[in-house]
Structure 1
């Protein structure tokens, strides 16, 4: 990662951790991804932008495997997603072979624009919600 990208990562994550996430997690319409902390074992909630397609929820991580929630998924892929105020359990899968820029075109515009603007290492994540057929792939 270049020095510029490292500084950008630090600035954006500091803002998100201290200001953005505490505010947005309280908004009832905000989609939340709940992972299990890989060290603490405690639930960790992260505001995300994504879209449900059938029994699959898609999102794009702006910092790929450097994001804490991605590291938590790698340790334990069982997650919960709050969509429209309702919690859904599922299993998260990192999809590095997916084109994250193309995926962002299928997700909510405002969040996708923010992810493109600040992201340095985009990574697609697919969450198979309980009751979904495994291996569902949507464009």
Structure 2
């Protein structure tokens, strides 16, 4: 990773953590991914964009393995996803062999554009929702 990518990651992450996420995760219709903190063991809620397709929810992480929620998934893949105000438990799968840019074309346009603009190490994540 070069200096400009690292700086971009730090700026975007700080903005999301301290400004955008605290507001958007409270919006009733915002999709939220809840992981378990790998160190604290506490629930961690992250607003995400993606799409439910059948019994799966698809999203693309902007910073791949550097994203805190991806690191939490590595430690414990059991998650919950709030979709349209309703929580769904499931198991998250990291899909490094999936083409995240192609995946973004099948996801909601506004979020996909932001992920492409601000992201640097895209990674597809699929959550297999429990029945």
The separation in 1 between residues aligned to 2:97 and 2:20, in whole angstroms, is 30
Unaligned segments of structure 1, at least 5 residues: 132-139
Which residue of structure 2 aligns with residue 15 of structure 1? 15
Q: How many residues align?
A: 131
- Structure-2-length-normalised TM-score: 0.99
- Structure-1-length-normalised TM-score: 0.94
Unaligned segments of structure 2, at least 5 residues: none
Q: After the TM superposition, which residues 16-95 of structure 1 pair with which residues of structure 2 at under 5 Å, given as runs? A: 16-95=16-95
The Cα of 1:81 is off from its aligned counterpart by 0.1
The separation in 1 between residues aligned to 2:24 and 2:84, in whole angstroms, is 14
The separation in 2 between residues aligned to 1:128 and 1:14, in whole angstroms, is 29
Please state whether the residue corresponding to 2:120 is helix, strand or coil. Answer: coil
The Cα of 1:29 is off from its aligned counterpart by 1.0
| Runs of 4 or more above 2 Å deviation | none
Which residue of structure 1 aligns with residue 120 of structure 2? 120
Render the CA deviation track for 1:61-98: whole Å, top value 9, x for unaligned: 00000000000000000000000000000000000000
